[in-house]
């Protein structure tokens, strides 16, 4: 039985529902600039945004190219030329930080783990002003023992440098006693592997289990655990269930 004492939680799409917040921020920001868009247009933006963040994870573009470039590309796609993206961007970031939606009552889960004596930290890629505002509104900042936002750390997940800074700050005794929980193979699981710490993949969207590429990526990345509910983490910590990928694959 593993003796995990420290939990590193990803935030967006693990504890908080990012697509809901993104959709809210997208339409409320556009409204302030008198721009009308459809839900189909929003999906185009979301895909552009996701691709930009993936390129940042790979170190191929800068943070500024993500934050401003996503709207530059989207406005070009929409034929919007009367709005300055550098003016639109901070409005969007403010809206993005002004709303949150818990996944599976994640705050209750973290409170329970806190009461059980686990040390918990948030590890998230994002903008300090936005993430800090959202985490304060959600109350998560009062539950956890520390927050590591990539912009403040100076490195992004999944880089080894990011996790080296995190591990130095939390002063963990042994990497084997740390468990990283996140939804992203490319950011969280790869980051945990780079850092040499155990990882747990959270699959919020069950439809992904029907995607051959996703399954292939899991088998290549080899997370230590794969869960379909955040609350499964309790059984892992108590040693009641292994939640290995092989077991999940057999069940599905």
> What residues are labeled active site?
10
State how far the Cα of 13 lies from the Cα of 50, in Å rounded to an integer. 13
State how far the Cα of 114 lies from the Cα of 207, in Å rounded to an integer. 32
Cα Rg of the chain (Å, integer):
18
Closest C-alpha to 143, from 166, 117, 110: 110
Give yes or no for a cis peptide into 173 (omega within 30° of 0). Answer: no
**DSSP secondary structure, the chain, as one string:** -----EEEE--BTTTB-HHHHHHHHHHHHHHHTT----HHHHHHHHHHHHHHHHHHHTTSS-HHHHHTHHHHHHHHHHT--SS-HHHHHHHHHHHHTT---BSTTHHHHHHHHHHTT-EEEEEE-S-HHHHHHHHHHHTHHHHSSEEEEHHHHTS-TT-HHHHHHHHHHHT-S-GGGEEEEES-IIIIIHHHHHHT--EEEE---GGGGG-HHHHHHHHHH--SEEESSTTHHHHHHTTS----HHHHHHH-
């Amino acid at each position: 039985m593993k003796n995990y004492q420290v939990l590193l939680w990803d935030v967006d799409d693990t504890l908080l529902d990012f697509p809901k917040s993104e959709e809210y921020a997208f339409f409320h920001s556009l409204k302030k600039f008198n721009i009308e868009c459809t839900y189909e247009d929003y999906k185009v933006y979301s895909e552009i945004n996701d691709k930009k963040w993936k390129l940042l994870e790979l170190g191929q573009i800068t943070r500024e190219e993500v934050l401003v470039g996503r709207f530059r590309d989207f406005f070009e796609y929409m034929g919007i030329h009367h709005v300055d993206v550098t003016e639109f961007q901070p409005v969007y970031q403010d809206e993005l930080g002004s709303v949150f939606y818990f996944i599976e009552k994640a705050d209750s889960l973290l409170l329970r783990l806190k009461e059980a004596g686990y040390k918990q930290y948030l590890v998230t890629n994002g903008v300090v002003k936005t993430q800090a505002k959202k985490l304060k509104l959600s109350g998560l900042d009062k539950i956890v023992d520390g927050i590591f936002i990539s912009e403040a750390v100076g490195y992004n997940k999944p880089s080894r440098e990011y996790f080296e800074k995190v591990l130095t700050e939390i002063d963990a005794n042994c990497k084997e006693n740390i468990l990283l929980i996140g939804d992203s193979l490319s950011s969280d699981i790869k980051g945990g592997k780079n850092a040499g710490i155990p990882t747990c993949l959270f699959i919020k969207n069950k439809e992904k289990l029907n995607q051959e590429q996703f399954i292939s990526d899991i088998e290549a990345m080899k997370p230590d655990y794969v869960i379909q509910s955040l609350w499964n983490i309790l059984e892992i910590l108590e040693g009641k269930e292994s939640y290995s990928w092989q077991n999940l694959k057999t069940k599905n």
